[in-house]
Amino acid sequence: MTVRKNQAALTTDEKKRFVGAVLELKRNGRYDEFVRTHNEFIMSDTDSGERTGHRSPSFLPWHRRFLLDFEQALQSVDSSVALPYWDWSTDRTTRAALWAPDFLGGTGRSADGRVMDGPFSASAGNWPMTIRVDGRSFLRRSLGTAVRELPTPAEVESVLSIPTYDMAPYNSASDGFRNNLEGWRGVNLHNRVHVWVGGQMATGVSPNDPVFWLHHAYVDKLWAQWQRRHPGAGYAPTGGTPDVVDLDETMKPWNDVRPADLLDHTKFYTFDS
Amino acid sequence: MPDITRRRALTATAALATTAAVAALAAPAASAAGHDHPMPMPQPPSTFDEVYKGRRIQGRPMSGGGHHHEHGGGFEVLIDGVPLHVMRNADGSWISVVSHYDPMATPRAAARAAVDELQGAPLLPFPTN
C-alpha cells in the first residue's frame, strides 16, 4: 500500500528516487501529457458552463484521480516511490528543505525568474518546457513575490471547520468548504499557493513545476482531514445538476470514474499521519 | 438542479445580487490574503488599446463569435496581436492563462498582469481545437 509522506520527513534516498522517477517520465514524454491535460481543463472549465477540473465540486475528486494517475506513472518507473505532500502552512519559507538543490531547487533569479539550481533547472539539461504558453523554455519561480505569505495553520483550520462540502451555484462564487479550499472565496488556500510560487505554477501549465504534485497532495490531504472532521457531510451535488459532475456521474477525461469512487482515499493510499 | 433554479442562477439579476453579496464578503478576506484586487460589479468591459511596458495590449468585443475557446463573455484580449486566453469569473473578475489563480478586476488589468509576467517573452497562440 502506498504511503504518502510529508516532504519534510523524506530521507535523502527517498528524495533521490522521487526526483529520478519524475525525470524519467519527463524523458520518455509521459510527463508532458499531464501538463497538457491540466491546461486543457483549466482553459475549458468555466463558471457559466461545463466545469470539471476546477471551480466546481469535482475540483477535489478530479485532482485526486489526476494525482493517482501520476503516482502510478511514477511507480511504473520505481515501485518504491509515493507522492510526498507539502504542508505549506508549516514549511512556509524559501529556506524549507523542499527548495534545496537535492530536491526541487530554489527560487528563480530576479532578472528572468530562471531557476538556477536543483535537478529541474534549465542548466541541468533535463527539464525542457515543452507544453508552454509563452516563448520561455526554462523553469521559472518567484517564491513569495506576487503574494508575500503562504496560508497559516489558523487559516487552514478556519476552512476545515466549514461544515458544507459545496453549495449552489457550484462554481467560483460558491460558499462552502470546496471553494474556500480552492481559494476563489475567503482566506484563499490553494490558489494563493500557486501565486506564491510564481513562474509556471501561476499559469495554466502549472504542472510544469514538480511542486504542483506536492501542493495538490496536501490539498488532497486536507480533503481527507475535512471528511474525518465532518463524517456526516458528503459530496454535493448528488444529482441532476447541469454542467456540474454529480456524485454518481462519470468525470472527463477518464469517463469511467465517479466522485463516489474517489471519496475514500484509503482504497488507494494512506498518509503518514 | 431543478430547471427553475438553473434559470434563476443564469439571470443577470441573480448574478448582480450574488456579486454584491460576495463583494462585501470578499473585500476583507482579499486584503487579509495580501491581495489588492477589488472585485467589480459585472458590466460590459471597456474596449482598450494601449502600449504598456513597450507592448501593445488590446481588449475588444470578439469578432467572428461562437469561438470554441471564447470564455470572456464575447471579449478578447491580445498582446502584440496574439490572443491571450482570458476568462471571466462569476463575480466579474478576470484571469488569464498566464495568471490563472489570481483574479484581476478588469481585462485590462489581466492584460497588464500578463505583460508583467511575460517579462518581454512572446506569447504563444493557444491551441484552436
Q: Is A260 domain-assigned?
A: yes
Q: Is A269 domain-assigned?
A: no
For chain B positions 80-99, those within 8 Å of chain A (CB to CB) are 85, 87-91, 97-99
Average pLDDT over residues A118-143: 96
What percentage of chain A has pLDDT greater than the value 90?
100
Residue B124: closest CA among A126, A212, A137, A198: A137
Instruction: Work out the pLDDT band at B125, boundaries 50, 70, 90.
Output: confident
- Answer whether residue A224 shows pLDDT above 90: yes
Cβ atoms of A141 and A120 closer than 8 Å: no
Domain count, chain A: 1
Q: Is A154 domain-assigned?
A: yes
One DSSP character per residue, B51-105 reads EETTEEEEEEEPSS---TT-BSSSEEEEETTEEE-EEE-TTS-EEETTEEEEEES
Q: Do A203 and B100 touch (CB under 8 A)?
A: yes
Q: Do B29 and A187 touch (CB under 8 A)?
A: yes
Looking at residue A116, what is its pLDDT?
98
Residue A21: closest CA among A30, A8, A10: A30
Instruction: Work out the pLDDT band at B69, boundaries 50, 70, 90.
Output: low
- Answer whether residue B46 shows pLDDT above 50: yes
Q: What is the pLDDT of residues B70-108, one digit of tens each?
A: 566 689 999 999 999 999 999 999 999 999 999 999 999
Which domain does A195 fall in, by range?
2-264
Q: Is A270 domain-assigned?
A: no
Q: Do A203 and B26 touch (CB under 8 A)?
A: no
- List of chain B residues whose C-beta atoms are within 8 Å of the C-beta of residue A237: 1
Average pLDDT over residues A56-65: 98
Q: Do B98 and A203 touch (CB under 8 A)?
A: yes
Matching residue, cell 489570481 = B102
Q: Is A259 domain-assigned?
A: yes
Distance CA A268, CA A12 (A): 25
Average pLDDT of chain A is 97
- Answer whether residue B28 shows pLDDT above 70: no
Task: State the sign of the Cα–Cα–Cα–Cα dihedral B25, B30, B31, B37.
Answer: negative
Q: Do B87 and A136 touch (CB under 8 A)?
A: no
Q: Is A27 domain-assigned?
A: yes
- Answer whether residue B24 shows pLDDT above 80: no
Average pLDDT of chain B is 72
pTM of the full structure: 0.88
- Which three cell numbers, joined as nine digits, stand for B8? 434563476
Q: Does B117 touch chain A (CB under 8 A)?
A: yes
- Answer whether residue B65 shows pLDDT above 90: no
- Answer whether residue A247 shows pLDDT above 90: yes
- Answer whether residue A138 shows pLDDT above 70: yes
Average pLDDT over residues A162-190: 98
Looking at residue B72, what is its pLDDT?
63
Task: State the sign of the Cα–Cα–Cα–Cα dihedral B116, B118, B120, B124.
Answer: negative
Tell me which amino acid residue B49 is: D
Please report, for the domain that includes residue A88, its CATH number: 1.10.1280.10
Task: State the sign of the Cα–Cα–Cα–Cα dihedral A118, A122, A127, A129.
Answer: positive
CATH superfamily name and code, B48-64+71-118: protein ne1242 domain like (3.30.1880.10)
- Choice among A159-168, B43-52, B91-100 with the minimum mean pLDDT: B43-52
- Answer whether residue A40 shows pLDDT above 90: yes
Cβ atoms of A185 and A162 closer than 8 Å: no
Q: Does B77 touch chain A (CB under 8 A)?
A: no
Beta-ladder partners of A270: A3
Distance CA B74, CA A68 (A): 37
Show me where the domains of chain B are located.
Answer: 48-64+71-118
Looking at residue B20, what is its pLDDT?
39
Q: Which DSSP symbol is given to A30?
A: H
| Helix H or strand E segment including B25 | helix B12-32
Q: What is the pLDDT of residues A61-76, one digit of tens each?
A: 999 999 999 999 999 9
- Which three cell numbers, joined as nine digits, stand for A109? 533569479
Cβ atoms of B97 and B126 closer than 8 Å: yes
Distance CA A76, CA A56 (A): 31
Looking at residue A269, what is its pLDDT?
98
